[in-house]
């Protein structure tokens, strides 16, 4: 007997990826439910920096997809949806010592190959930007990138009509068949025509065969001061290395200083192999703070008012996992975004919504999206019970 559907599509996870998928499906007229164990932006999306950056992406599919997503995010901001979340600003990447200077050369090469929306507008010394410290030996200035706090984007996406919020409700198990997916919430069961699993680091609890690993990151926020002292993000080249190489090979702390519209600074972020979002330690913070002050000495006058950690969902081959789950025809996964999910969320939301509707990917992206398929880990990858 055919079971009645409560929703056309259920989205598991109200992080920025699930929220973006939900918005795109609702725009297409589908009845969408978003289910979260805690609530919107409860995990990585609410505990991240928020750089919408191509500069920091691994060369290849990830950098090209990030470039397309940056353009699309700018469109969505221009249309009003993400206007209160995304803001454009220059990015400055600095280097000190041979390894970082070489990383800046690689960055310039990568951006030239992509020929996307991010342009190198300057390549000089610390004097290129007022207020920089002597530790900045070389400064590359980029135009075209921006910043988007994850929680603001999640709120914007989920405000769309046609999205039913279901939280707090932890998904305990899934059963899919050719007609749909039954979702076990413990106290009740829901039936949807399709399920999109956007569970971040919690993915293996329901899909143990997907190789998603936790990678923690610590961040801290300063008090408010005069806005505009730093016109854009200031990133150590070590941060680019940290995102493309194994953790532990860095000569210097991978600091990113992001000026917020409130006049505060958001400063991050470490990479640690554990899953505890409550673990914040002085040794790591001190390292990041020292480097931040060396690069931008005016920070010495600011007080840290909050420190926190978030858990990224890392994959061994450093590529997200996006696509239909082999062996479960009505389940699509979108996970493993590590430190790139805020940047990629707009584009991934649009493309996963297309997959769910049986539409072909946007032409120019087809090959790069195919590189993210869960099928690269073998088949079948059946769902399991949490």
Q: At what angle do helices 150-158 and 16-27 cross, to 10 degrees?
A: 30
Which range, of 12-20, 75-83, 126-134, 222-230, touches ligand FAD by CB under 6 A?
A: 12-20
Tell me the per-residue interface mask from 52 to 91 with ligand FAD, x by CB under 6 A, - otherwise: ----------------------------------------
Q: Does residue number 12 form part of the binding site for ligand FAD (CB under 6 A)?
A: yes
Q: Is 219 in the site for ligand FAD (CB under 6 A)?
A: yes
Is residue 233 near ligand FAD by the rule CB under 6 A? no
Q: Any idea which residue has 């070389």 for tokens?
A: 138
17 binds ligand FAD (CB under 6 A): yes
Token pair, residue 251, equals 């000569």
Rounded-to-integer distance, Cα 316 and Cα 246, Å: 10
C-alpha dist (Å) from residue 44 to 32, 48, 339: 22, 6, 9
140 part of the interface to ligand FAD, by CB under 6 A: no
Instruction: Please state, in angstroms and rounded to a whole number, the distance separating the CA atoms of residues 349 and 334.
Output: 9
**Least CB distance to ligand FAD at residue 47 (A):** 5
Q: Does 254 bind ligand FAD (CB under 6 A)?
A: no
What minimum distance in Å lies between the beta carbon of 24 and ligand FAD? Answer: 14
**How far does Cα 189 stand from its chain's mean position?**
30
Residue whose structure tokens are 């590590």: 338
Within 260-279, the residues that bind ligand FAD by CB under 6 A are 268-269
Interaction pattern, residues 35-54, with ligand FAD; x per rule: CB under 6 A: xxxx---xxxx-xxxxx---
d(CA 135, CA 127) in angstroms, rounded, equals 12
Residue of 13, 149, 259, 349 that binds ligand FAD (CB under 6 A): 13
Residues 300-359 interacting with ligand FAD (rule: CB under 6 A): 310-312, 335, 337, 339-343
Please state the closest distance from residue 186 (CB atom) to ligand FAD, in A.
10
Of 13-21, 104-112, 285-293, 321-329, the window that binds ligand FAD (rule: CB under 6 A) is 13-21
Gap between the Cα atoms of 283 and 289, Å rounded: 10
**CB-CB contact of 173 with 187 (8 Å):** no
**191 makes contact with ligand FAD (CB under 6 A):** no
For the beta carbon of residue 278, count every other beta carbon within 10 angstroms. 6
Residue among 267, 273, 272, 310 at smallest CA distance from 286: 267
| 221 is a contact residue toward ligand FAD (CB under 6 A) | no
Minimum distance of ligand FAD from residue 32's CB (angstroms): 15
Q: What angle do CA 67, 128, 57 make, to 5 degrees?
A: 20
First to last CA, the chain: 27
Question: Does the protein bind ligand FAD through residue 235 (CB under 6 A)?
Answer: no
- Contact yes or no for 307/360 (Cβ under 8 A): no
Binding mask 198-217 for ligand FAD (x = CB under 6 A): xxxxx--xx----------x
**DSSP secondary structure letter of residue 47:** S
Residues that bind ligand FAD (CB under 6 A): 12-18, 35-38, 42-45, 47-51, 150, 170-171, 198-202, 205-206, 217, 219, 268-269, 310-312, 335, 337, 339-343, 386
């Amino acid at each position: 007997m055919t079971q009645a559907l409560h929703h056309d599509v259920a989205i598991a996870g109200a992080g920025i990826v699930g929220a973006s998928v939900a918005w795109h499906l609702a725009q297409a007229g589908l009845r969408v439910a978003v289910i979260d164990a805690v609530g919107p932006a409860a995990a990585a999306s609410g505990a991240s920096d928020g750089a919408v950056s191509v500069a920091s992406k691994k060369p290849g599919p990830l950098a090209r997809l990030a470039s397309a997503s940056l353009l699309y995010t700018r469109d969505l901001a221009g249309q009003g949806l993400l206007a209160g979340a995304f803001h454009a600003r220059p990015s400055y990447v600095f280097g000190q010592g041979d390894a970082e200077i070489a990383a800046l050369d690689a960055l310039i090469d990568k951006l030239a190959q992509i020929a996307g929306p991010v342009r190198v507008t300057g390549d000089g010394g610390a004097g290129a930007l007022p207020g920089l410290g002597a530790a900045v030996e070389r400064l590359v200035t980029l135009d075209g990138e921006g910043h988007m706090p994850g929680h603001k984007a999640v709120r914007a996406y989920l405000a769309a009509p046609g999205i039913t919020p279901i939280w707090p409700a932890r998904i305990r198990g899934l059963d899919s068949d050719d007609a749909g997916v039954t979702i076990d919430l413990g106290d009740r069961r829901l039936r949807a025509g399709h399920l999109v699993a956007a569970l971040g680091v919690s993915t293996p609890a329901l899909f143990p065969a997907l190789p998603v690993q936790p990678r923690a990151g610590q961040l801290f926020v300063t008090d408010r001061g005069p806005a505009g002292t730093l016109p854009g993000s200031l990133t150590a080249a070590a941060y680019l290395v940290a995102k493309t190489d194994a953790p532990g090979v860095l000569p210097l702390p991978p600091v990113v200083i992001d000026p917020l519209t409130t006049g505060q600074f958001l400063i991050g972020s470490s990479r640690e192999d554990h899953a505890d979002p409550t673990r914040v330690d002085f040794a790591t913070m001190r390292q990041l703070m020292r480097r931040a002050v060396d690069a931008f000495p005016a920070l010495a006058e600011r007080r840290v008012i909050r420190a926190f950690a978030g858990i990224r969902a890392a994959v061994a081959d450093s590529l997200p996992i996006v696509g239909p789950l082999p062996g479960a025809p009505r389940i699509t996964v979108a996970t493993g975004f590590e430190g790139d999910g805020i940047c990629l969320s707009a584009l991934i939301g649009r493309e996963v919504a297309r997959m769910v509707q049986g539409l072909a990917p946007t032409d120019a992206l087809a090959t790069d999206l195919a590189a993210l398929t869960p099928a690269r880990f073998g088949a079948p990858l059946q769902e399991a019970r949490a």
